[in-house]
Amino acid sequence: MLQKRRRLRAPAWVIGLAPLGVIVVLAGLFLAFNPIASLREVPPVEAVAVERTVFTEGGIELGIRNDGPDEVTVAQVLVNDAYRTYTISDQTLGRLDTATVSIPYPWDDGLPISIALVTSTGLTIPHEVEAATLTPEPNARTLGIYALLGLYIGVIPVVVGLFWLPALRRASHRWLGFYMAFTLGLLAFLLVDTVAEGLEFAAATAAALDGLLLFAISALTAVMGLVALGNGLRHTSDRGTGAPGQALGGLALAYLIAAGIGLHNLGEGLAVGAALAGGEVALGTFLVLGFAIHNTTEGLAIVAPLRTQTSRPSLWHLAALGAVAGAPTIAGAVAGGFILSPAWSAVAFGIAAGTIGQVIWTVGRSVGTAKGLTSGLGALGFVGGLVFMYTTGLLVA
Amino acid sequence: MRGLGAAGLAGGAGVLAGRGPAGAQELTVPGSAEHHTGSQAAISHGGMGTVGTVDHARNGFTPQQLLTEFDPGVVSKDASGRTVREYEFVAVNKDIEVAPGVFFPAWTYNNRVPGPSIRATEGDRIRIRFINGTEHRHTIHFHGIHSARMDGVPGAGEVGPGETFTYDFIAEPFGTHLYHCHSLPLTNHIHRGLYGAFIVDPKRGRPEANELIMVMNAFDTNFDGENEVYALNTVAFAYMNEPIPIRRGELQRAHVINVTEFDPLNSIHLHANFFNLYRTGTKLVPDEFTDIISMGQAERHMIEFTYDSPGRFMFHAHQTEFVELGWMSFFEVS
């Protein structure tokens, strides 16, 4: 009986693949007869994105990507309206292919420069640089500088902020709602900031890669990942407290906030590193100090939930919280400094935005209305968090 | 929890590790990958110039041909003993390589830009059978003296797709002239390549010389109303990459014609020399002795000069932007 049924019925995987098979056959027929061929009797659509600009001693290097539907052949290179000799790793680029263009050129430090690629059809792909400046080479020294920068604007301020914990613990219970609301306000500011920056990178991404979708997918993936992680943590804390279904404990909440802030700081590091490498900002001492003050508040946000802990958290936990929230800045600064493509930056900012969104949700739910989040003091705290971040943000604007 | 912190750091380190080799690879690309590199001449100009070579065979004409070939037409005599020169011009669309690897969708007379260099003597009868092999209307408008019927403008000698018209007129006055399409929109019909030299010699002739045709033209390859390529006789840097060979002490006579669209002026400047300028070539004595002359569109002059010492001599537009966009040339004097 069983034998007979097997003979009659195809295995499940065959049935599962059948629609795919039909699609393949249809695609084959479409390619063979190409009913819309007559619609394509137009010149090729050539689009090339310049993803990376590197200024070396006496030369310029461009990382380019074909982000149009058709093949593109780079024929000549114009620099400031003059044909220049150049080399290219691959002259003809298929869809989404990348190539490196190297142009020996005596560029002027600090001056704008306009580069154009001339394709085989005579189309020009312009690329304007606001100010040419030597791109840092990835050697031990510059690596060290970027790492130090990350340390100053990320790790140190966050760790310093953590030392608000003793003061928090002494504050009266009445103020708890204020502090948590302050944290939420701060996170809300970071969310808006991260989304805005992420959308900027999404816009700079090669059109065919669709930076907006990269950003959105990364954000949603981060949200889902953290929901799963949050559930895992909740199970762990359930076992510890023996109170099933209870909201996240103070320490777990602190780590979640630290993770969200950490990912935001990864993005912040990327932005600062990229700006520094691209010569767009003169990153002065003032700017570094501004970031430091701005980010110190983040430490306060992390330790706020620990106010409810009955026992004092170990120094190990505090160090770990500082590392989770601050260290990604270092990685971000280095990655941004050595030219991450806009697409990857859009992904990084997407993850950061999703994480912060999820953290806001979790923190909001954990604190709940019972502890005065929606009270007058709570509302004041939330707005206070926003305003404080905005005000300190002015220092780096 | 400590584990999470460590993972965060390791993730950061992973980003670094991943970037390192990629960065290194990008730096080594110029040495390891296949390249196309410029000619020696281009490299010797401090990095200025185009990369690669133009396939002149595919274009169907060489820079040398455009420079030195005159078309006398099919010559016969009519009943009165007058010399008759007959030509057949066909308007053809053709992609022309105006810089290495850069193809311009040109409109041509007889598959070349500039079109054939008509050469006649004043008083000759010129008969040009014009066949339009394109999908647009075209004309041939001659700079010269002729009847309104033969002017080659919309309403007088304009030819629709597949149609034919014969221009018939007497070559006068003597001088360095040009012809071009006069269909509308005019900008497009001229800059797409429908122009050429029309040289009329004086009856009494001129001294023996090495004669050269120099059409200063330009191409708006991306159709944005500005030229991307400037040239002498169509191909950017053609005579920089392959200098024009001339003999020491020999009289050179160049017919310089400006057909540049979009820019109000073009010019020619000779290095280390001066030339006699015959404005529009309509006189037998020079108007001026100079080393540079600027021209508006359709202005053209005859210049005469001699190089007395051997060597490589530059000549180019003195709109320096045009120089670096292709209008740079050399004489190789031996």
In chain A the domains, ranked by start, together with CATH numbers, are 48-129 (2.60.40), 140-394 (no CATH)
Q: What pLDDT is recorded for position B1? A: 34
CATH number at residue B158: 2.60.40.420
Residue pLDDT tens, chain B, 334 long = 333 333 333 333 333 333 333 333 333 333 333 334 433 444 356 788 899 999 999 999 999 999 999 999 999 999 999 999 999 999 999 999 999 999 999 999 999 999 999 999 999 999 999 999 999 999 999 999 999 999 999 999 999 999 999 999 999 999 999 999 999 999 999 999 999 999 999 999 999 999 999 999 999 999 999 999 999 999 999 999 999 999 999 999 999 999 999 999 999 999 999 999 999 999 999 999 999 999 999 999 999 999 999 999 999 999 999 999 999 999 999 9
Average pLDDT over residues A365-378: 67
Give me the percent of chain A exceeding a pLDDT of 70. 82
CA A224/CA A230 separation, integer angstroms: 10
Q: Does the pLDDT of residue A84 top 50, yes or no?
A: yes
CA distance A14 to A271: 49
B66/A280 Cα distance (integer angstroms): 49
Query: B254 to each of A358, B204, B210, B277, B280, how far by Cα in Å?
Result: 77, 19, 8, 10, 12
Q: What's the pLDDT score for residue B323?
A: 96
Rounded Cα distance between A278 and A55, Å, is 9
The top-scoring range by mean pLDDT among A106-110, A152-156, B104-108 is B104-108
The answer on pLDDT for A166 being more than 70 is yes
Residue A43, preceding peptide bond in cis (omega within 30° of 0):
no
Mean pLDDT estimate for chain A: 80
**SS3 of A91, please?**
coil
Assess if residue B130 is contained within a domain: yes
Please report, as a single letter, which amino acid is at residue A201.
F
Q: How many residues would you count in chain B?
A: 334
Residue A87 contacts B where some CB pair is shorter than 8 Å: yes
**CB distance B19–A340 less than 8 Å?**
yes
Strands B118-121 and B195-201: parallel
Nearest to B19 by CA among A391, A162, A393, A63: A63
pLDDT classification of A248: cutoffs 50, 70, 90? low
- Does A78 contact B at CB distance below 8 Å? yes
Listed by number, the residues of chain A in 92-121 with a beta carbon closer than 8 Å to a beta carbon of chain B are 100, 102-105, 118-121
Contact A351, A191 (CB under 8 A): no
Instruction: State whether B8 and A328 contact (CB < 8 Å).
Output: yes
CA–CA distance, A266 with A257 (Å, rounded to integer): 14
What does the alpha-carbon distance between residue B123 and residue B83 come to, in Å, rounded to a whole number? 8
Q: Which residue, B162, B3, B170, is CA-closest to B91?
A: B162
Give the Cα separation of A133 and A78 in Å (integer). 19
Quote the distance between the C-alpha of residue A12 and its chain's center: 41
A257-294: burial string, b at 16+ Cβ within 10 Å, e else: bbbbbbbbbbbbbbbbbbbbbbbeeebeeebeebbbbb
Task: Look at residue A310 in the predicted model and tell me its pLDDT.
Answer: 67
Q: What's residue A376's pLDDT?
A: 80
| Average pLDDT rounded to a whole number, residues A332-347 | 78
A55 contacts A131 by C-beta, under 8 angstroms: no
A263 to chain B, any CB pair closer than 8 A? The answer is no
The length of chain A, given as a count of residues? 397
What type of residue is B316?
A: H
Q: Cβ separation of A85 and B51 shorter than 8 Å?
A: yes
Say how many Å lie between the first and final Cα of chain B, rounded. Answer: 84
Q: Of B182, B191, B190, nearest to B220 (Cα)?
A: B191
In a domain, B294, yes or no: yes
For residue B6, how many other CB atoms are within 10 A of its CB?
A: 13
Q: Within a domain: residue B84?
A: yes
Residue with tokens 């103070």: A250
Q: What is the mean pLDDT of residues A137-151?
A: 81
Cα separation, A144 vs A147, in Å, equals: 5
Number of domains in chain B: 1
Do the Cβ atoms of B221 and A316 come within 8 Å?
no
Amino acid residing at A355? T
The residue ranking higher by pLDDT, A148 or B332, is B332
> Computed from CA positions of residues A355, A356, A357, A360, in that sequence, does the dihedral angle turn out positive or negative?
positive
B22 within domain boundaries: no
| Cβ neighbours for B302, distance < 8 A, ≥ 6 positions apart | B175, B176, B253, B254, B255, B256, B277, B278, B280, B281
- Is A262 within 8 Å of chain B by CB? yes
Residues in chain A with CB shorter than 8 Å from the CB of B2 are 316, 320
Quote the pLDDT of residue A43: 66
Residue range(s) defining the domain that contains residue B119: 56-333
Q: Do the domain assignments include residue B36?
A: no
Residue B157 lies in a domain: yes
Residue A342, Cα to own-chain centre: how many angstroms? 10
**pLDDT tier at A349 (50, 70, 90 boundaries)?**
confident
Give dist(CA A189, CA B152) in Å, integer. Answer: 71
With bands split at pLDDT 50, 70 and 90, how would you rate the model's confidence at A233?
Answer: low
Q: Which residues contact B40 (CB under 8 A, 6 or more apart)?
A: none
